[in-house]
Amino acid sequence: MTNSASSSQHPLAVTGLILSGGGARAAYQVGVLAAIAELLPEDAENPFPVIVGTSAGAINAVGLACGALSFPTAVQRLTAVWKGFRTGQVYRADWPGVVVQALRFLGHSLLGLGKRQPVALLDSTPLRYLLERELDFSGIAAAVRRRNLRAVAVTAFGYESGQAVTFYQGRATIDPWLRHRRVGVPTRLQLEHLLASSAIPLLFEPVKVHREYFGDGAVRQQAPISPALHLGANRILVIGVSGNPAQGDANEPVGRHQTGQPPSLAQVGIHLLNSTFIDSLEGDIELLNRINYLSSLVPEGKSRKALGLQPVDVLVISPSRPLDEIAAQFRHELPSALRLFLRGPGATKASGAGVLSYLLFEPGYCNALIELGYRDAMEKRTEIARFLGMEDWSL
> Is residue 55 among the annotated active site residues?
yes
Amino acid at 341: F
d(CA 215, CA 119): 12
Which among 20, 55, 226, 357 is annotated as catalytic? Answer: 55
CA 226, 228, 232, 237: dihedral to nearest 10 degrees?
A: -120
DSSP letters for 241-262: SS--GGGSSTTSPTT-S---PP
Pairing of strands 15-19, 212-216: unpaired
Let me know if 298 is exposed, middle or buried by CB neighbors in 10 A (0-12, 13-18, 19+): middle
Find the catalytic residue in 216, 313, 324, 376.
Answer: 216
Q: CA 288 → CA 21, 29, 80, 250, 365, distances in Å?
A: 19, 21, 34, 22, 32
Rounded to 5°, angle at Cα 33 from 189 and 171: 35
348 to 28, 266, 274, 366: CA distances (angstroms)? 21, 9, 18, 17
- Distance in angstroms (rounded) separating the CA atoms of residues 147 and 354: 40
Q: Which residue, 54, 360, 102, 101, is CA-closest to 215?
A: 54
Do residues 238 and 22 touch, judged by C-beta distance below 8 A? no
Helix (H) or strand (E) holding 308: none
Whole-number Å distance between alpha carbons of 148 and 140? 9
Using N-to-C axis directions, what is the helix angle for 71-83 and 56-66, rounded to 10°? 140
Q: For this structure, is 7 an active site residue? A: no
Catalytically active residues, by annotation: 55, 216
